C-alpha cells in the first residue's frame, strides 16, 4: 500500500508569517555541477601557485591516518557508507573497515583503497584490480551470512558502470579472480543480505539483484514502481546517488533522494524528498513523500509548516543532501541539509536559513537539530554563507547517522562553518585564499554532532568531535552502528582533512587540481549516556556475537539472540570444516542466550562457530591458544 505523509498547515502560524514579514531577502544558490564520475580532473589551464597559501595545520586529536589522497570531494548528495565495523582480531570489540578514493597527483590514476584498524595497526590496500582504473566513489559492508560470511563487499564505479570486489578479512586482501560482472551506471550503493543476496542501485534508479554471489545482476524494479503519486519518468532532476540501506534482519530495505517534477498527482508538490523501499523483506515495495519543496526557480514550491520547531520553508530538492540509516528495529532515520528560507530567530524579514534537519519513520516529523545561532545567513561581521561555502557543502551539510541496537540512541554528525569564537557572536573563520584567479575565500569547517537517547524525539547539546582552529575538517562518515557498553557509547567515524580549504574537485582552491597532502582519518568518540541502554534492549533481531574472551584457553562464551521462536543449532568446526562440537540443538523461544564452550580436548588453532536459526545463518571465527 502506498503511503503519503501530508503536512498540516496551521492557519495561525501562516497568517502570522505573512502579516509580519516586512521584506523578503532570500537568495537561491544552486548546487555545483556534479563532478564527472569518470573524468577525475578539473584542472584549469592556468598554473596555480599555492606555495604560500598551503594550510598544513593538522587536527591535534586527528585520529589514525587511513590514506593520503588529493581527492577532496567525497560525495555529491548522499553521504556514502565508507566505514563499517567487524571484529577483525577476535577480541570481542568491533574494528573499523574503511574505503576511500586515493589520488596523489593531478592526471594520475584513481584507486579505491580498503583500510582497516586491527592488531594495533592501520593498513590499506587497493580493493580492485590495479590494472583497471580509474575506480572511484566506493561503499563497503561487512558480510554476515551466505557464502561470503566473514568477508567484506566493496562497490565502486569505472567507465560508467558499477563494479564490486570481495575482501578476505582473514588475509586482508581482495579475493581473486576479481569479479568481472558489472551492472547499472555510476555511484552504486548496495546491501548484502544474510542469505547472500545482493541488492544494488545506481544513478539509473534501478534496483539490481544478485542471488549467485555477484556472478550475475538482474533488474528487479525501479524507484517509484507501484506508487500512483509519482512519475519518475517525468522528473526534471533526480539524485546522482541513491543511498541503499537495510535493517539487521533484512526486513526493511530502502533508499531516498530529492526529485523535482516527479509528481503524477497535480495536488502534490512536484518537488520532494522520497523514501522508497520494503518493510517485509521484499514482499512488497512502497513509497513515501517525506518532505516537499524546491527553490524559487523551481516554481517557488517551498512550504512552511513542515519543521515542528522552526518557522522555515526548506528548499529540499535544491541541494538534496540526504542520508539514511535504518536501525535494527526497522525505523528509518534521515538527515537533510535544510537550506531554505524563513523567519530567523523571531525576526520579521524572510531570509535564507541553514539548519540540519532530522526525520524518522516512527515520529514522521522534521526537526531542526542545529542550534538556531548556527542557522543564520551570515555571521553579523560581513561574512555570508552564500559567499564563503565550499563546493556543495553549504551551511550545515552532509549529515551522517548512527544508532544503537534498540534504536534509542541516535547520533547525528555533520560539517558546518568554523567560528573564531562563540557561535552566533563571533565571525566565521575565513581562509582568504592566495589572491590568484582561481583561489576563493571559504570558511573553515568543523565537524559537529548531537545525540538523542529517546529515538530522536529530543536531543542533547550540540558538540564538536573535530574542531581545531584554522583546520579544514570535512565529509564525516559514521559507521551506522554505535558501540554500547553499559552507559558508555562509542561512535566510529572517518573524515577528510583538506590542507587547502575548498573543493578542488569543483574548481575551488586547487593546486594543479588536487593536493596530495589531504588525509582521510579514522577516529572514535566515546561519551557517557544518561541511562544504561543495554538494560533496555528488547530483542527484535537475530544475531550472533563474537565469542569472549578471544583468543581463549580453554573456555569462552558465545552469545546470540533470536527474534522469534526457532529451531536452533550451534556447532563448532575446525578450519577444514570438520564438526568438532555441538553446543545447541533445540527449539528455543525469542530472547538472548549465551553458551559456554570448553575446548580443553582440542588443539590450538583457528575454529569456526556457526548458528542456524530458521532462515538466519551466521558464522564467526575464534582462536584457541594453549
pLDDT digits (tens, 9 = 90+) for 551-576: 889 999 999 999 888 999 999 999 88
Quick one: 243 and 133 in the same domain?
yes
Quick one: 294 and 274 in the same domain?
yes
Regions of the chain short of the pLDDT cut 50? 1-21, 36-37, 39-56, 512-513
pLDDT at 41: 37
Quick one: 464 and 610 in the same domain?
no
- 5 domain residue, yes or no: no
Quick one: 530 and 547 in the same domain?
no
pLDDT at 535: 52
Quick one: 530 and 563 in the same domain?
no
pLDDT at 517: 78
Quick one: 410 and 340 in the same domain?
yes
- 2 domain residue, yes or no: no
CA angle 109/114/120 to nearest 5° reads 130
Quick one: 198 and 305 in the same domain?
yes
- 607 domain residue, yes or no: yes
Distance CA 382, CA 293 (A): 29
The structural domain count of the chain equals 2
Q: Which of 509, 535, 561 is the last residue of a domain?
A: 535
Say which CATH number the domain at 565 has. 2.60.40.1930
pLDDT at 134: 84
Question: Is the full-model pTM beyond 0.95?
Answer: no
pLDDT at 20: 35
Distance CA 370, CA 385 (A): 15
CA nearest 323: which of 189, 495, 167?
189
- 192 domain residue, yes or no: yes
Domain carrying residue 493: 11-535
- 256 domain residue, yes or no: yes
Distance CA 419, CA 23 (A): 28
- Alpha carbon dihedral 196, 197, 201, 204, in 10-degree steps, equals 140
Quick one: 464 and 602 in the same domain?
no
pLDDT at 467: 93
Q: For residue 20, give the DSSP letter.
A: H
Cβ atoms of 261 and 294 closer than 8 Å = no
Quick one: 332 and 359 in the same domain?
yes
Quick one: 351 and 480 in the same domain?
yes
Q: Which of 535, 563, 589 is the last residue of a domain?
A: 535
CA nearest 280: which of 251, 253, 250, 249?
251
- 1 domain residue, yes or no: no
Q: What is the largest CA-CA distance in the chain?
A: 83
Q: Which of 535, 568, 583 is the last residue of a domain?
A: 535
- 4 domain residue, yes or no: no
pLDDT at 284: 95
- 6 domain residue, yes or no: no
Copy the grid coordinates of residue 529: 549516556
Quick one: 497 and 567 in the same domain?
no
pLDDT at 511: 53
pLDDT at 437: 66
Quick one: 504 and 604 in the same domain?
no
Amino acid at each position: 500500500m502506498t503511503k503519503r505523509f501530508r503536512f498540516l498547515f496551521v492557519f495561525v502560524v501562516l497568517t502570522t508569517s505573512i502579516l509580519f514579514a516586512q521584506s523578503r531577502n532570500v537568495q537561491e544558490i544552486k548546487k555545483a555541477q556534479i563532478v564527472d564520475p569518470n573524468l577525475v580532473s578539473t584542472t584549469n589551464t592556468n598554473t596555480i601557485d599555492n606555495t604560500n597559501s598551503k594550510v598544513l595545520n593538522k587536527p591535534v586529536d586527528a585520529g589514525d591516518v587511513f590514506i593520503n589522497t588529493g581527492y577532496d570531494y567525497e560525495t555529491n548528495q548522499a553521504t556514502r557508507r565508507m566505514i563499517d565495523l567487524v571484529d577483525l582480531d577476535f577480541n570481542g570489540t568491533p574494528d573499523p573497515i574503511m574505503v576511500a578514493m586515493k589520488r596523489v597527483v593531478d592526471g594520475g590514476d584513481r584507486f579505491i583503497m580498503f583500510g582497516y584498524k586491527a592488531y594495533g595497526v592501520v593498513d590499506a590496500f587497493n580493493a580492485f584490480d590495479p590494472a583497471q582504473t580509474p575506480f572511484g566513489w566506493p561503499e563497503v559492508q561487512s558480510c554476515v551470512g551466505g557464502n561470503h560470511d566473514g568477508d567484506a563487499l566493496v562497490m565502486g564505479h569505472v567507465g560508467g558502470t558499477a563494479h564490486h570486489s570481495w575482501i578476505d578479512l582473514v588475509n586482508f586482501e581482495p579475493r581473486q579472480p576479481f569479479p568481472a560482472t558489472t551492472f547499472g551506471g555510476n555511484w552504486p550503493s548496495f546491501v548484502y543480505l544474510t542469505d547472500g543476496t545482493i541488492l544494488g542501485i545506481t544513478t539509473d534508479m534501478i534496483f539490481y539483484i544478485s542471488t549467485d554471489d555477484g556472478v550475475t545482476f538482474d533488474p528487479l524494479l525501479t524507484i517509484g514502481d507501484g506508487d500512483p503519486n509519482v512519475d519518475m519518468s517525468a522528473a526534471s532532476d533526480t539524485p546522482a546517488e541513491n543511498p541503499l540501506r537495510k535493517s539487521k534482519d533484512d526486513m526493511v530495505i530502502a533508499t531516498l533522494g530529492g526529485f523535482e517534477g516527479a509528481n503524477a498527482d497535480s495536488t502534490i508538490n512536484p518537488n520532494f524528498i522520497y523514501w522508497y523501499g520494503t518493510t517485509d523483506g521484499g514482499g512488497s515495495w512502497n513509497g513515501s513523500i517525506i518532505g516537499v519543496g524546491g527553490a524559487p526557480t523551481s516554481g517557488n514550491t517551498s512550504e512552511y509548516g513542515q519543521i515542528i520547531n522552526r518557522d522555515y520553508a526548506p528548499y529540499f530538492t535544491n541541494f538534496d543532501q540526504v542520508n539514511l540509516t535504518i536501525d535494527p528495529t526497522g525505523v528509518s532515520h534521515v538527515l537533510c541539509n535544510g537550506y531554505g528560507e524563513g523567519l530567523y530567530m523571531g525576526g520579521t524579514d524572510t531570509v535564507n536559513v541553514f539548519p540540519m534537519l532530522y526525520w524518522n519513520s516512527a515520529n514522521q516529523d522534521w526537526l531542526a537539530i542545529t542550534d538556531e545561532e548556527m542557522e543564520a545567513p551570515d555571521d553579523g561581521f560581513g561574512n555570508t554563507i552564500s559567499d564563503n561555502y565550499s563546493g556543495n557543502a553549504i551551511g550545515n551539510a552532509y549529515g551522517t547517522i548512527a544508532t544503537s541496537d534498540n534504536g534509542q540512541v541516535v547520533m547525528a554528525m555533520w560539517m558546518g562553518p568554523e567560528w573564531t569564537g562563540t557561535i552566533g557572536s563571533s565571525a566565521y573563520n575565513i581562509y582568504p585564499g592566495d589572491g590568484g584567479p582561481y583561489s576563493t575565500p571559504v570558511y573553515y569547517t568543523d565537524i559537529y554532532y548531537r545525540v538523542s537517547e529517546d529515538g530522536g524525539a529530543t536531543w542533547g547539546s550540540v558538540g564538536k568531535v573535530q574542531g581545531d582552529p584554522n583546520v579544514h575538517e570535512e565529509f564525516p562518515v559514521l559507521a551506522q552502528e554505535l558501540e554500547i557498553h553499559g552507559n558508555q557509547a562509542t561512535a566510529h567515524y572517518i573524515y577528510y582533512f583538506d590542507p587547502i580549504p575548498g573543493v578542488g574537485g569543483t574548481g575551488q582552491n586547487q593546486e594543479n587540481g588536487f593536493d596530495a597532502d589531504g588525509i582521510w582519518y579514522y577516529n572514535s568518540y566515546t561519551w557517557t549516556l544518561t541511562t544504561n541502554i543495554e538494560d533496555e534492549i528488547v530483542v527484535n533481531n537475530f544475531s550472533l556475537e563474537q565469542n569472549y574472551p578471544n583468543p581463549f584457553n580453554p573456555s569462552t562464551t558465545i552469545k546470540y539472540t533470536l527474534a522469534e521462536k526457532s529451531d536452533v543449532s550451534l556447532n563448532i568446526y575446525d578450519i577444514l570444516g570438520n564438526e568438532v562440537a555441538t553446543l545447541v540443538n533445540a527449539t528455543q523461544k525469542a530472547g538472548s542466550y549465551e553458551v559456554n564452550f570448553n575446548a580443553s580436548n582440542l588443539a590450538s588453532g583457528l575454529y569456526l562457530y556457526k548458528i542456524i536459526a530458521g532462515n538466519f545463518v551466521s558464522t564467526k571465527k575464534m582462536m584457541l591458544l594453549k
